Chain A
């Protein structure tokens, strides 16, 4: 039994060196040695992020054909297109960890991989396009600004680029909300209703409270994450409360009040039962979202097969020439 011991000894030396690099603030690159658990945690997080971009196209895509002006239609198409681009970019980043996109998509479709719980809520009015930009992209920015300093180089660099676009989406969403807030009574009502529906699910986007987050400690140690779920959630709330006040909408939480001692906005109890139901597959739209992705996958099968067949014919022609 000498060999395993040797391997373990080697490995622990490697882990020590790896952790020292992280502690020194160095970035880990694809060809660098990394613990298998670090690699797996990153694949989990990055693919979850990529899947969220892809599934996130559906609730917003739902309103492209009904956007009430040509300008809004164009900016919504552009936003959803950006999300596809982010998905593609992060899938490519995940491939640097030795897993291919095809495998990741299978994991999404068969339920092994998760995506952000927020996209399992339905989009019921045009105001949702504003509120999703404001809350959901706003929450994503809070998360991703921190992830841009994550220890894994390809992920951190992807976040820098993606954050720029998310900032634009957030401004666009908030601008839709501000326009509705200044609009007719029916528009204001539509806006308030969307805020009421999306506020709590947006807070849940940061994940369970730190005491219930199974992955947090390790991710923090390896600087895959740099802040806890609760810290990020609080930051999002602190940023959003004054924005809501500025356009005269009410956040649906009677316990929301400023705490002068902590300089934070205290907030009410999040319904974690709802959160766990939604991530467990029982949210309002989980089935529809996966069914839509599965349908796209199934109906696209003949197209992908044709592209592959044509490419190999071309390849043979080139070789024969």
Chain B
């Protein structure tokens, strides 16, 4: 057992040494308390995905989608702002959400790889969004009743928004999958490309075990089953097929990213880093 100590504090500190965290291979610098690391994973997913969505602003296929994608981006960045804010508070090193967003290196980011991939065409953006939304809804639904009051409150608020996001992306997946031959082929190709990034969303490591001490106990297998049921239902309606024998990619949760993240961050952080200490 990872967690044997009797007090939560001791239990948490018992699993944060670099040696123990290294069980899953190499990893970037860690952030002390597992709950901080855990919140960064949630916050970074939403910040990076919100950033990718915001790249569509002014370039959408129809005006209504410019509005919808901006709205979803806004919700995701808003959620990340709360999650990173809480992470900073619990870290206790005087770093607020902005410090965490704009002054961390790529290897210190904890988002899943799927959210950092370039936006691709509208079909790729929608398919990625759908796979993430379904994951987010099942995860936040569980977190909304977890024993960590701060996180539960954020999860409950974001869950309401994410249910709308899931409805929006599901409808589009069906529309594109079932639309024309071209749209079907495009969105099937996106699904084929994206599928290998979905395994990481349900990985479980020492951080997940350690946060049990602060009341966060998610059954990843159960969440995965719920996610699969949502995904299978929508993909079936969209006449799309899940690719077989996919080797899953992994690494984001340990700071081992694709090359895309560095470029994204160099854009996102450019102004803030050019003026360290400035107020905006």
Contact = CB atoms under 8 A, between A and B. Distances in A.
Contacts of B58: 54, 57-58, 61, 80, 84, 292, 296
Contact of A64 (B54, B275, B279): B54
Contacts of B182: 302, 305-306
Contacts of A77: 54, 57, 70, 73-74, 77
Contacts of A187: 275, 278
B63 interface: yes
A74 B78 contact: yes
A257 interface: no
A71 B96 CA distance: 12
Interface in A226-254: none
Interface residues of A, number: 48
Contacts of A54: 58, 63
A305 B271 contact: no
Contacts of A300: 60-62, 122
B151 to A, nearest CB: 18
B103 to A, nearest CB: 11
A260 interface: no
B70 A306 contact: no
A179 B278 CA distance: 10
B187 to A, nearest CB: 8
A273 interface: no
B81 A71 contact: yes
Interface residues on B, range: 35 or more
A58 B56 CA distance: 10
Contact of B270 (A57, A66, A78): A66
A81 B279 CA distance: 25
Interface string B105-122: 000000000000000011
B89 interface: no
Interface string A294-315: 0110011111111111100100
Interface string A50-92: 0000100110010011111111111001101100110110010
A300 B61 CA distance: 4
Contact of B57 (A57, A176, A179, A305): A57
Interface of B: 47, 51, 54-55, 57-67, 70-71, 73-74, 77-78, 80-81, 84, 97-98, 101-102, 121-123, 174-176, 178-180, 182-183, 186, 267-268, 270-272, 275, 277-280
9 smallest CB-CB distances across A and B, nearest first, come from A300-B61, A306-B179, A306-B183, A57-B58, A303-B61, A81-B70, A61-B58, A68-B271, A61-B57
